[in-house]
Amino acid sequence: MFRRTLLSAALVLTILAGSLLSAEPVRVACIGDSITAGAGIRDRSMHYPTQLGRLLGDGYKVINCGNSGSTLLKKGDKPFWKQRQWKAALEFNPNIVVIKLGTNDSKPQNWKLKDQFAADYKDMIAQLSKLPAKPKIFICKPVPAFPGRWGITDKVIKEEVIPITMQVAKDCKLPVIDLYKALTGKKEMFPDTVHPNAAGAGVMAATIAKAITGKGGAADDCCGKCGSFFNGKDLKDWTAKKSRKTPSLWSVGTPKIDPKNPKALIVVPGGDAMVNTPAGHGKSLDFYSGKKHGDGIITLEVMVPKGSNSGIYLQGEYEIQVLDSYGRKKLGGGDMGAVYGAAPPKFNACKKPGEWQTYEIHFKAPKFDDKGKKTTNARLEKVILNGKLIQEKIELERNTPGGVDGKEKAMGPLMFQGNHGPVAYRNIRIKPLK
């Protein structure tokens, strides 16, 4: 009997050990230069590898192996091979490797060695392939430059670095992630013409997450908990509030400040933003999504011209203010980032009119019992504007006036205020709240 008990116990321990092993997260190493490292983005939580980790979810562990100024070329002015991040990547024994190098190689002093670029790239791939985990390796096309600085030039990246990179991928039979295409035309995301800002890092993270998972970010089919509110092409999934007299002036395109009027937006065809172009207050309509949400982290970009006003209504009922508050020193409940009428932002993180601004809103929906009675108020865990924490732990005891229907609910649409002035939104996404 004792022997049988020991055998049973051993079997249980074996099963538990196997379960624990199978539950280990997938290890992802992001190899790169200052763009991977997050140069110019003060908030480390907005660096692309960190955003990638949030998109992939708890089943993955992502580390940032970016080193500023590094080249893939072994004889470049700062070879990645000699940096501690290369050693860290190898010691991590990743299951997945994402390589984004080549930007610094485009500098004249480095690119004179371009004949060695392919061989050095293949050697890096070979060394990574020998790791015990036998990682899946993704090669990234470098991001564009607009047009570049410090000797970095978009022409060399596009016409020389990328073709060699593609040939390496073909020879080694590896998948390619096209970061160049993902960020082409997004000059506003590159403040210094070379390094993407937090929003640009978000585009990188989403593009890489899609390549890794085969889905848009974490997953697009998770019952409204993640995915996109706007397809970037048309407004078929959005509805304007009904009105007998006022038309909806929402359309899809690329917004620009009207050169004849800094308080107005014009729309250039061919973009991926939803743009509202009223001439003044009451000249257009509020706009809400067909997709509904509960708890989640909502991320989006917004642009307002001079003096304009809009609002982001979570579940169509709780407003985060959108306003041109650039340069204001005294902030109130109606300024950019305020919980409308309730809590002003901690400080002014608002950019200049006409610049894209990034929101990250961590929201907990209200809870109801089986009779429909509210048991827990909605709550903002935090609001991050342009990489800066401006709101934290705000309980929403009641809905904001002017919402979709004035009723608190477990699931509701996202609404943008459209009857107060010109505004544009894009990259409107939600992912699970951890």
Q: Give the count of domains, the chain.
A: 2
**Residue where a domain stops, chosen among 213, 235, 252:** 213
| Domain co-membership, 180 together with 278 | no
Looking at residue 73, what is its pLDDT? 97
User: Whose structure tokens read 């997004």?
Assistant: 186
What is the rounded CA–CA span in Å between residue 99 and residue 37?
A: 12
| Domain co-membership, 329 together with 353 | yes
| Domain co-membership, 257 together with 329 | yes
Domain contains 10 = no
| Domain co-membership, 183 together with 237 | no
**Sign, Cα dihedral of 401, 404, 406, 407:** negative
**Residue where a domain stops, chosen among 162, 189, 213:** 213
| Domain co-membership, 171 together with 238 | no
CB atoms within 10 A of CB 270: 9
Looking at residue 368, what is its pLDDT? 87
Tokens coding 202: 């978000």
| Domain co-membership, 379 together with 419 | yes
What is the rounded CA–CA span in Å between residue 374 and residue 356?
A: 37
What is the rounded CA–CA span in Å between residue 137 and residue 196?
A: 23
Q: What share of the chain is helix, strand, coil (3-state, %, to 5)?
A: 25, 30, 45
Looking at residue 13, what is its pLDDT? 44
Tokens coding 172: 């080694």
Question: How many CA atoms are closer than 13 Å to the CA of 21, on its beta-carbon side?
Answer: 6
Please give the DSSP secondary-structure letter assigned to residue 245: S
Looking at residue 215, what is its pLDDT? 62
Domain contains 5 = no
Domain contains 311 = yes
Strand ranges (E), 84-219: 96-100, 136-141, 176-178
| Domain co-membership, 292 together with 349 | yes
| Domain co-membership, 136 together with 180 | yes
Looking at residue 23, what is its pLDDT? 61
Looking at residue 318, what is its pLDDT? 96
What is the rounded CA–CA span in Å between residue 287 and residue 399?
A: 17
Q: What is the dihedral of CA 389, 393, 399, 405, to 10 degrees?
A: 60
- Please say whether the beta carbons of 255 and 272 come within 8 A: no
Question: How many CA atoms are closer than 13 Å to the CA of 377, on its beta-carbon side?
Answer: 11
Q: Which amino acid is at 189?
A: M
Tokens coding 198: 């937090």
- Please say whether the beta carbons of 209 and 423 come within 8 A: no
**Residue where a domain stops, chosen among 161, 191, 213:** 213
Domain contains 405 = yes
Looking at residue 243, what is its pLDDT? 86
CB atoms within 10 A of CB 239: 17
Domain contains 6 = no
Looking at residue 271, what is its pLDDT? 82
104 φ, ψ to 5°?
A: -70, -25
- The domain that holds 257 is classified in CATH as 2.60.120.560
- The domain that holds 95 is classified in CATH as 3.40.50.1110
| Domain co-membership, 38 together with 139 | yes
- Please say whether the beta carbons of 331 and 325 come within 8 A: yes
Domain contains 4 = no
Burial state string for 113-124 with b = 16 or more CB within 10 A and e = fewer than 16: eeebbeebbeeb
Please give the DSSP secondary-structure letter assigned to residue 115: G
Looking at residue 8, what is its pLDDT? 44
pTM above 0.75, yes or no: no
| Domain co-membership, 202 together with 235 | no
Query: Which residues does the chain have with pLDDT short of 50?
Result: 1-22, 216-225
What is the rounded CA–CA span in Å between residue 79 and residue 77?
A: 6
Domain contains 15 = no
Looking at residue 62, what is its pLDDT? 96
| Domain co-membership, 170 together with 254 | no
Range of the domain at 119: 22-213
Domain contains 1 = no
| Domain co-membership, 335 together with 238 | yes
